[in-house]
Amino acid sequence: MTSPDSGVGSAADLPDYAPVPRSALGPALNDQGHYVGRVERNLYWVIDGVYQSAFLTTRDGVVVFDAPPSIGGNLRRAIDEITAANGAGAARPDDGSGDLEDGALAFAAAPR
């Protein structure tokens, strides 16, 4: 069985498309495999190329907004990097939904 005729003879007959703009690729990841950027004041975002998360530093600790499984270790490294530079307290990763278990494992030793 063959597929219906698409009207295209070969790959050479396909139209050319503009390349994906560099800005659409997102920020470059560091050697550890993540990027951390400041949104505003003490609010930061982290991306590992697939998942993204955010955290807020306070005098009493760090509030982690989300910790999906693949970003857990990178999120912890990003938080450690920022808190070491700013002198913030320990991370407290819990939104009460129970869906953060895999990513939150990176914070297992953090005080609660």
Q: Establish if 11 belongs to a structural domain.
A: no
Q: Establish if 82 belongs to a structural domain.
A: yes
Q: Establish if 39 belongs to a structural domain.
A: yes
Number of H helices, E strands in the chain: 2, 5
Identify the band that residue 99 occupies on the pLDDT scale cut at 50, 70 and 90: very low
Q: Establish if 3 belongs to a structural domain.
A: no
pTM for this structure?
Answer: 0.64
Q: Establish if 6 belongs to a structural domain.
A: no
Q: Establish if 1 belongs to a structural domain.
A: no
**Distance in angstroms (rounded) separating the CA atoms of residues 64 and 5:** 52
pLDDT above 90: percentage of residues in the chain = 24
Q: Establish if 46 belongs to a structural domain.
A: yes
**Distance in angstroms (rounded) separating the CA atoms of residues 52 and 88:** 21
Residue 71 structural domain:
28-107
Domain count, the chain: 1
- 92, 61 contact by CB (below 8 A): yes
Query: 26-64, pLDDT tens digit by residue?
Result: 899 999 999 999 999 999 999 998 888 999 998 888 888
Q: Establish if 18 belongs to a structural domain.
A: no
